[in-house]
Amino acid sequence: MPRSFRVTGLVWAFLIALAMGLSAQETTIVLIRHAERQSIFDDDSPLSGMGQRHAELLVPLLVERKPEFLFASDRKRTQQTLAPTAAKLGLTIQLRAKSDSLALAAELLRDHRHRTAVICWHHELMKPLVRALGVTGAVPYWPLDTYDWLWIVHIPDHGEPSLETRKQTLAPAPAGSAERR
């Protein structure tokens, strides 16, 4: 076999191995909290007017992430928060019981590798969900009155999952709005 053919074969083998390494994708899980609800005394309260506006303003922010799956809990407010994004993307919101945060994390890790999913969930369950997705580093407290965070869990094929926190950049509320965030 001529020497040039062997070198070319080695170069091709190297390029294929390199391409396979570069094509490895991470799993991306975008976590948002449901938007503002009408009543804190009703466990299945729908969104308030401000919450509905917030849900509409989330659409471009979530669409740019190119999610393939949308998940919400079995509570109206989480489903209503994702409804405008689902309509824009033509996706069905997959419902999971609020009490099944750990099962949802296991499902994502098992069935949705190398994909992007958005989960609309509840503030008190965000940290356990992030931990169940494998993040071992610092996880900030998600305050009860905070609706404008975006948590992105990056799960690489190799290495430790990480948490990126961002503030949602939504348009300000209309002047004179009496509703609180």
* pLDDT given for residue 145 in this prediction: 86
Gap between the Cα atoms of 145 and 180, Å rounded: 9
Where helices occur in 67-149 by DSSP H, the ranges are 76-89, 101-111, 123-132
Distances in Å between the Cα of 151 and the Cα atoms of 103, 127, 137 are 19, 10, 14
104 touches 61 (CB < 8 A): no
* pLDDT given for residue 44 in this prediction: 94
* pLDDT given for residue 46 in this prediction: 97
Gap between the Cα atoms of 73 and 144, Å rounded: 17
Domains annotated for the chain, with CATH where assigned, are 25-167 (3.40.50.1240)
DSSP annotation of 105 = H
Map tokens 């992007």 to a residue.
Answer: 116
Token pair recorded at residue 181: 């965030």
Q: pLDDT under 70 in the chain at which residues?
A: 1-24, 170-181
Which residues on adjacent β-strands are paired with residue 69?
117
Nearest C-alpha neighbor of 62 from the set 168, 153, 142, 164: 168
* pLDDT given for residue 14 in this prediction: 56
* pLDDT given for residue 169 in this prediction: 73
Burial classification of residue 172, based on how many CB atoms lie within 10 Å of its CB (0-12 exposed, 13-18 middle, 19 or more buried)? exposed
Where helices occur in 24-100 by DSSP H, the ranges are 49-63, 76-89
Q: What is the dihedral of CA 38, 104, 92, 168, to 10 degrees?
A: 50
* pLDDT given for residue 22 in this prediction: 47
